[in-house]
């Protein structure tokens, strides 16, 4: 039997070392981490250094920077 080649997926050839593009969810998650970290830091400063987690004071700043850093590190893997 002859195969119907018009229905097959086209084969995309990549150069050596070239990788596939990112998944659809990658960009929104990356931007989400950056914005969440920024929002965390803004809440920390606007609340007079009491929130988002009361009682840990300046560690809130470290948490916000850490969350934003995850998003920025993800940009190195974005294609």
Domain count, the chain: 1
Q: Is the pLDDT assigned to residue 11 strictly greater than 90?
A: no
4: in domain: no
48: in domain: yes
CA-to-CA dists, residue 34 to 2, 4, 51, 69, 78, angstroms: 53, 47, 19, 7, 14
Tens of pLDDT, residues 31-56: 999 999 999 999 999 999 999 999 99
Share of the chain above pLDDT 90, in %: 66
52: in domain: yes
45: in domain: yes
17: in domain: no
Q: Which domain holds residue 57?
A: 23-77
As a whole number, mean pLDDT of residues 52-68 equals 95
As a whole number, mean pLDDT of residues 25-29 equals 96
69: in domain: yes
């Amino acid at each position: 039997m002859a195969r119907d080649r018009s229905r097959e997926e086209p084969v995309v050839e990549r150069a050596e070392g070239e990788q596939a593009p990112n998944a659809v969810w990658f960009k929104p998650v990356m931007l989400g981490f950056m914005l969440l970290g920024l929002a965390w830091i803004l809440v920390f400063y606007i609340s007079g250094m009491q929130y988002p987690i009361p009682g840990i004071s300046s560690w809130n700043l470290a948490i916000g920077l850490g969350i934003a850093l995850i998003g920025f590190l993800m940009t190195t893997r974005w294609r």
